[in-house]
Amino acid sequence: MKRPLLLIFAILLADQLLKIWIKTNMYLGQEFEIAPWFIIHFTENNGMAFGMEFGGNYGKLFLSVFRILFVSGLGYYLWKLTKEKASSYYITVIALVFAGAVGNIIDSVFYGMLFSSSDFGTIATLFPPEGGYASILHGKVVDMFYFPLLSGTFPEWLPIWGGEHFLFFRPVFNIADASITGGVIVWILFQKKIYPEENKTSTEELENPADNSVVENN
In a domain, 89, yes or no: yes
In a domain, 16, yes or no: yes
| Catalytically annotated residue among 15, 107, 119, 177 | 177
Q: Residue 57 in 3-state DSSP?
A: helix
107 is catalytic: no
Residue 138 sits in which domain range? 2-30+41-156+171-200
Q: Is 90 exceeded by the pLDDT of residue 94?
A: yes
In a domain, 57, yes or no: yes
In a domain, 56, yes or no: yes
In a domain, 210, yes or no: no
Domains in the chain, number: 1
177 is catalytic: yes
Q: What is the pLDDT of residue 136?
A: 93
In a domain, 113, yes or no: yes
Round to whole Å and give the CA distance between 210 and 207. Answer: 9
Condensed to tens digits (0 to 9), the pLDDT of residues 98-156 reads 999 999 999 999 999 999 999 999 999 999 999 999 999 999 999 999 999 988 888 88
Stretch 62-79: mean pLDDT? 93
In a domain, 77, yes or no: yes
Residues 194, 198, 204, CA angle at the centre, nearest 5°? 130
Q: What is the pLDDT of residue 216?
A: 53
Q: Residue 26 in 3-state DSSP?
A: coil
| Catalytically annotated residue among 107, 119, 143, 211 | 143
State pTM to two decimals.
0.84
Pairing status of strand 141-146 against strand 172-173: antiparallel
Condensed to tens digits (0 to 9), the pLDDT of residues 176-216 reads 999 999 999 999 999 888 887 665 554 455 456 555 554 45
Task: Judge if the upstream peptide bond of residue 169 is cis by omega within 30 degrees of 0.
Answer: yes
Q: Is 50 exceeded by the pLDDT of residue 47?
A: yes
In a domain, 208, yes or no: no
Q: What is the pLDDT of residue 50?
A: 47
Which are the contacts of 179, defined by CB distance < 8 A and separation ≥ 6? 11, 15, 96, 97, 99, 100, 103
Which residue, 131, 147, 12, is CA-closest to 75?
12
